[in-house]
Structure 1
């Protein structure tokens, strides 16, 4: 008599995790030995887990991470100069809370994008909003948005995200339009949110890449001076994997 009305009430209240746990416990003979407090504790624990899982799934969908990279799968044994202590510090995310930036630098194939996505995944676990995008694609999207009147809304959404991951920084020189958009993004985020960039080019070459001295000073001042730097080297991990498979 009690089961169905209770389940209905739990579902009506949006307590889906508790409803599932209640059905499981009610059909479990061993649950009869539990006290009322133990029953309630189990129901609340299931509800908390269910909500956390849903929240993480939503964060990950919104993040659009390029790789399914999780911190537990990071390979610290590969000869690519990965500073384990620094990377584990980045995973903790205190720098995101402090609104600092990060740059992951190294040659093609050493896992820059994958490591950036692992940091993004952990930030999602920590209930922070994350967005991954390749910088060339973002610049193209903003140019289109400017043409059809969506630019203000798009810039506002970029300003709000806790961690913005800009992959493939420096693949090509920036034109005037790209410089302007990039400066506006970093200006909106400076001291308020964190930005992570990956690049094949050392930071010393970024000034020339930007192309205009005035814009270069402004952009790098907002991006680099408070950035943690993770510098990698070594041979492409993709080539090493192909060799191992062969």
Structure 2
């Protein structure tokens, strides 16, 4: 079978989705009954879907989300204080558009990181740039970047992302360099981009984790001042379920 010249032209124009749809329709006898407007509509629909899927894949690759978490898989049945109406509002992303912050707080194993990744996935789906990182790892990376001269570029990239997810906030007290880097990140992002943090500690204890009253006032003012809070409670979801018959 000879290759249709239209396929070559679509390929040259970078219309990969339309090219695939054209080949499928050309091989489908039922497509012969379609009018030109219907053909065009199908081709355009396939191209739009192809581009959306490719864009989402690129966003997710850059986001480096820890969990493959999608909003449709969220468990609202487990008793942990997760209000569906509130979380639906969070997923909608108006707070990201308004450059506000979000804190997810609760005991270990309650699903904070998973929920944060689900929010990140939805933001990627909405064509927003996202970056996930554990705060302890980010602090270590910034210390290395400072040592080899990459710190300015790294800080610039952190400032640009639409949603920065800082997981495991407050696991250990911050040292001087960590406080300084964290303040600079939040200063660059305040009122311009959104930051999501997860923590086992209630907000009232964040002050002592920062470990310096001057820095604590400055950091928390930029992080908590415009932050929505999602506070969870309950048993760890990582605990194995005991079989009653065993």
Show the counterpart of 1:243.
Answer: 242
CA distance in 2, matches of 1:237, 1:195: 25
Q: Which runs of 5+ in 2 are unaligned?
A: none
CA distance in 2, matches of 1:213, 1:243: 46
CA distance in 1, matches of 2:61, 2:228: 26
- Cα distance change, pair 244–117 in 1 and its aligned pair in 2 (3 A): farther
Between structures 1 and 2, the one with greater helix share: 1
- Cα distance change, pair 115–93 in 1 and its aligned pair in 2 (3 A): same
Show the counterpart of 2:76.
Answer: 76
Deviations 1:163-182 (A, max 9, x none): 00000000000000100000
Q: Report deviation, 1:2.
A: 8.6
CA distance in 1, matches of 2:146, 2:198: 25
Show the counterpart of 1:225.
Answer: 225
Q: Report deviation, 1:193.
A: 0.1
Show the counterpart of 1:5.
Answer: 5
Q: Quick check: 1:83–1:230 contact (8 Å CA) kept in 2? A: no
Show the counterpart of 1:216.
Answer: 216
Number of equivalences: 245
Show the counterpart of 2:167.
Answer: 167
- Cα distance change, pair 65–7 in 1 and its aligned pair in 2 (3 A): same
Q: Report deviation, 1:217.
A: 0.3
Structure 1 stretches of 4+ with a deviation exceeding 6 A read: none
CA distance in 2, matches of 1:70, 1:216: 34
Deviations 1:22-61 (A, max 9, x none): 0000000000000001000000000000000000000000
Show the counterpart of 2:40.
Answer: 40
Show the counterpart of 1:21.
Answer: 21
CA distance in 1, matches of 2:232, 2:119: 16
Q: Report deviation, 1:242.
A: 3.9
Name the Cα RMSD after superposition: 1.3
CA distance in 1, matches of 2:24, 2:192: 45
Q: Report deviation, 1:243.
A: 3.1
Show the counterpart of 1:140.
Answer: 140
Matches within 5 A, 1:105-116: 105-116=105-116
CA distance in 1, matches of 2:242, 2:131: 33
Q: Which moved more, 1:78-87 or 1:150-159?
A: 78-87
Q: TM-score, with normalisation over the residues of structure 2? A: 0.97
CA distance in 1, matches of 2:75, 2:123: 19
Q: Quick check: 1:56–1:124 contact (8 Å CA) kept in 2? A: yes
Deviations 1:134-161 (A, max 9, x none): 0000000000000000000000000000
Q: Report deviation, 1:85.
A: 1.4
